[in-house]
Amino acid sequence: MLSKTSVRFAILFMWSFFFPSWFYVSKGVLEDYLDLLNHADLVQVSIITLWLPVGFLGVLLYLLFLTPKAFVRGEKIKEIYRSQTIKIWDKIVTIFALCGIAFAVAWTYHSIDLLEKYGYVYSRDLTRITPTGIHLMYVKAR
């Protein structure tokens, strides 16, 4: 059994890592889309990164609803909540993850349609591969 302090530090770490990470990536995805809508000279489409804004909401909701009680008590979530509650939350997280995949696919097709409509051309030289995915770069055709 972990000490209460260890559990609290783990929860604080999760809060301080997951919420800012989700916000940072979601903000980047939104900025990429706004670049496209504003007809910027260079537009980025990050297919894998598009999963995160919707797909990660289940994890964030899990943290918002289940960890405060665990933080106050200093106990693991599985020691506080019934197994049925944990199973329901597992399903919620899975549903959001699947919705995130669907969102990423739909948003990619929508973005590619707008890129063609606005006259952008794919640039293989500018495309980057990073740990967060493949960042396809499109340049405004003159």
Residue 32 has pLDDT above 80, yes or no: yes
Strands 133-140 and 42-46: antiparallel
- The tally of domains found in the chain comes to 1
- What local confidence, expressed as pLDDT, does residue 1 receive? 59
Q: What is the mean pLDDT of residues 71-100?
A: 95
How high is the pLDDT of residue 127?
92
Residue type, 50: L
Q: What percent of the chain has pLDDT over 70?
A: 98
pLDDT of residue 132: 73
pLDDT one-digit tens code per residue, 87-136: 999 999 999 999 999 999 999 999 999 999 999 999 999 999 888 788 99
Q: Which domain does 63 fall in, by range?
A: 4-140
- Looking at residue 107, what is its pLDDT? 94
